[in-house]
Structure 1
C-alpha cells in the first residue's frame, strides 16, 4: 500500500517523462527538478525508472546498493544488464505491458541475503499510452525478522500459559472429585505454585510494557547489596536441591550502592532462575558480588548447557528465545533477560554474557556505586 501510494506520487511528479517521446539515448534523459532529484536519490527506497524498451533512465543510490550496480553508469543500459535478475526483468516486462505487479524478491549479499518487496508500475500518458515503467524496492528484512519474532513469541506465550493452566485444571478437578483431605493437601499447594508461575509471567509482560513506554520507575536508595542478594539466593535453595544443583555463594566484602533494591532483586532472580533451569543435576550455579573501581559487579555463572554462539548477541532482545526446540522444557517467553538489561541500564550500568556451548554461561551485571554523575537516557 505504501509503495503503491509512493509510486503514484512519483509517476505524477515526473509525468514529463511520458508526455514526450522516450528515446533510448542516454543523452536525452529528461531534466528533473533539483530538489525532487535530491529527495529521490537520498531515499532508502530503491527507485528505478525504465523507458519503453526496458532501459534505465533513472536509478537512485539505494537501487544501486540493493541490486549491486553504479547508478551513474547504469543509465541507458537494460535492467537485466545491471541487475542480472530474471525476476526483476519479468516484473519490468509486465509493467511495460501495462500490468502492475508486486511481490517478494530475495537478493543475495556478501553476508546473508536481504528480502525486498518489489513493485513495478506502468507509466502511461494521458492517452493511456505506456511510455515506461517505475520499479520500487523496499527492504523488508528487519520487518520479516520482527514478524518471525512475534510469531515465535505468541507460540512461546501460548505454551507458557497453557502448561500451568492445564496443571491447575487437572489438580482442581482431582481435588473436586475426591472427598479425601489428603488429596487436597497434596494438590492445592502445587496448584498455588502454578498460579505463582502465571503471576510471574504476567508481571514480566507488564514490566516489559512499562520499560518500553519509559515508565520503568527506579527509586534509588543507599543499599547494602549483599542484603539484597542473600535472601533471594536462599529462596532458590529448595529448587536447587530438588534439581541436584549446587549453589555456591561468594558475596565477599560489604558493598554499598545507590540502587533500587527491588529492581536489582529482579535482576538476581532472573539470572539465578535462568542458571538453574539450564543446569542439569550434578552441576553448579555460582553467585558472586564484588567491588571493582567505582562499580559493583554481580556475577552469576553456571555449568549448564551453555548458549550457542549464534544466539549470544541476541539474548537480551525482547521475546528472543534460544532455540526453543532444543530447550522447550526450560524455555520462557523471552522477556527475563530483556528486563534485566533495561534495569541495569536504568542504573547506568551494563549486563554482559559469555558462554561456550556445553560449558555453561557467565553473566556479569555492572552497577555504579553512586548515581551522582550518571546520565539517564
Structure 2
C-alpha cells in the first residue's frame, strides 16, 4: 500500500493533461506566427489593392480630361444647371444661346466638379495642383509639393503615401496639344509637366475592415484549434489512454497478489499486443507461484525437520555441557584440597614451585568450567536472577579492589570517575562477574605500567559504564564478532592463558538480561573502550 501511495504521489500530471499542454505548446505559437504572417499579408494586400484602385481612378480621370481636351479644350455647361454650381470660373468663355448661357468647363474645372461629387459620396477625393497654378485653389500642399518636385527632379511617374487616416496618390499631368491655350507660359519655360493629379482614398474604413477580417480569422483559427484539440484528446483517450488505464489497473491487481487479473484489449494494434504480453506474463507468474509454493512447502518441511534436529542436538549439547561442568567440579574440588594439603606440608622450595604452577592451572580450569556452566544455564534459560536496586558506583569500586592485586603485578594504574548515588536494578553477583571479566581483559591486554580508565556516567534515563585500556585494540572487522561465543581475539600479542572465548559472550547475555546493551569502540594499536548501558532504577 505504501508503494502504491508513493507511486500515486509521483504521478502528479496525467498523460491526458500532458498531451493537451503539449498540443497547446506546439499549436499556439504556430498559429500565432501564422496569423501574424496572414495579417501582414492582408495588410500588404489591402495596401496593394488601394494602390491599384487609386491608379484606376487616376487613369479614369486622366482619360476623362483627355476626352475634354480633345473636345476643343473644354465642354460647355449651362451655368444654371446643378453641374455648374460651386466651381469658380478660371476663364470667361461663355456662349449665349437664346435664354441660356453656357460656360466653358476646362479639364481642371471638370476635375474639380468630379471631386465634389466623389467627396459627397465619401468614397474618395481628388484634386489638381501645380507649382505655378493658374487658379490659386490649385496651390499644392506639402505632400503635393513633394510629389511635384519628385516628378520634375527624379522623373518619377507616381508618388504615394499611406497615413493612419488616408492613402494619398499622385501622378504627373503632362502637356498636350489642347493645354497650350491655358498653359502656354509653362510650355515656353520648357517643362512638359503642367501639374499633378492627387487621389485621396480614406484608409480608416479599410483598416477597420482588415482588422475585423483578422479577428474573424483568429476566431475561426481558435475554434479550429479547440475542435482539433478536443478531437485529438478524444482519440487519445479512446485509443491510447483507456487501454493503458486498463493495463495499469490490471497491473495493480497483479501487484496486490491477484494473479487471475487479465487484460482484455481489442484495439488491433501494438496495445493489444502489449495486453497479450501482459496476460502471458500473468500466466507465467501464476505458474511460477504454484511451483514456488510447492518448493517453499517442501523446503519449509525440510527446514522444520532440520531445525527440530538442531534443537534436539543443541539441547543434548547443553545438557552434556551442564552435566560435564557439574561432574568436573567434584574431582577438581578434591584435587584442590589435596594441593592445599601438600602446600602446607611440603617444605622443599622446588616442590612448592610446582605446587604453585598446579594451583594456577587448577584455578584456570575452575574458571573455564564455571564459565561453561554459566553459559549453558544462560542458553537454556535456567539461570536464577536476583534483581535488587544497587549503587553502580559502589559496585565499580568493589570490582577495582578485587582486581587490584593483579594490577600490581603489571604495575597498571586504574583511574576511576564514579559519581555517587547512581542506582540500577541489577543482579549484583552477575553484574560483578561482567565487570570483573571486562577489567580482567583490559589488564590482560595492556602493557606494563599502562593506564586503565573506568567512568560511570548518567545518560538520560540510563547509566553508562566505560572501561578504556591501552592495549593493541580490536580490528574493525572483529568489533561485532568478539561478543560471539568461543571467539578468541587475535591481537598479535603473545598472551598466555588467553581463554576459551566465552567471557564476552556471557557478559553480553547478562547485560541483555538486564535490558541493557554492551558495545566496543577501538583504535587499532592504541586502545579499546567497552561500554555497558543499564536502565536507571
Q: Verify the 8 A CA contact 2:469 2:528 in the aligned structure 1.
A: yes
Instruction: Normalising by structure 2, report the TM-score.
Output: 0.37
Give the aligned partner of residue 292 of structure 1: 459
In structure 2, the gaps of 5 or more residues are 1-283, 300-309, 311-327
Is 1:38 the counterpart of 2:38? The answer is no
Give the drift of 1:323.
2.2
Matched, 1:254 2:508: no
- Give the conservation status (yes or no) of the 8 Å contact 2:473–2:491: no
The equivalent residue for 2:445 is: 278
Shift of 1:230: 1.5
Give 1:338 shift: 0.6
Q: Which has the larger radius of gyration?
A: 2
C-alpha displacement at 1:180, in angstroms? 3.3
How far apart are the structure 1 equivalents of 2:469 and 2:516?
22
The answer on whether the counterparts of 2:346 and 2:352 sit within 8 Å (CA) in structure 1 is no
- Residue 357 of structure 1: how far off its partner (Å): 1.0
SS at match of 1:334: coil
Inter-partner Cα distance in structure 1 for 2:371 and 2:501: 10
Q: Is this contact kept in 1: 2:474–2:523, CA < 8 A?
A: yes
Per mean C-alpha deviation after superposition, the further-off stretch among 340-349 and 247-256 is 247-256
231 and 44 in structure 1: CA distance in 2 versus 1, 3 angstrom threshold? farther
Q: Which residue of 1 aligns with 2:372?
A: 205
TM-score (norm 1): 0.51
What's the counterpart of residue 384 of structure 2? 217
The answer to whether the Cα contact below 8 Å between 2:374 and 2:506 also exists between their aligned partners in 1 is yes
Q: 1:285 to 1:325 in 2, by over 3 A?
A: closer
Evaluate the alpha carbon distance shift between residue 267 and residue 291 of structure 1 in structure 2; reply closer, same or farther with a 3 A threshold: same
Partner of 2:526: 359
State the 1:331 CA deviation: 2.5
Does 2:502 correspond to 1:335?
yes
* Alpha-carbon distance, 1:326 to partner: 5.1
Tell me: higher relative CO, structure 1 or 2? Use CA pairs within 8 A at least 6 residues apart.
Answer: 1
- Cα 1:315–1:179 shift into 2, 3 Å: closer
Q: CA deviation at 1:241?
A: 1.6
Shift of 1:290: 2.4
Residues 1:256 and 1:221: Cα distance change in structure 2 (over 3 Å): same
Partner-residue secondary structure (3-state), 1:236? helix
Task: Choose between structure 1 and 2: higher helix proportion.
Answer: 2
Q: Which moved more, 1:241-250 or 1:36-45?
A: 36-45
1:193 is displaced (CA, Å) by 3.3
More strand by share: 1
1:230 maps onto 2:397 in alignment: yes
Distance 2:429 2:358 in 1: 26
How much does 1:266 deviate?
0.8
- Post-superposition offset of 1:219: 1.2
36-45 vs 220-229, which moves further: 36-45
Are the structure 2 counterparts of residues 179 and 200 from structure 1 closer, same or farther at C-alpha, using a change threshold of 3 Å?
closer
1:304–1:361 contact (8 Å) kept in structure 2: yes
Q: How many Å apart are 1:343 and its aligned residue?
A: 0.7
1:42, distance to aligned residue in structure 2 (A): 4.1
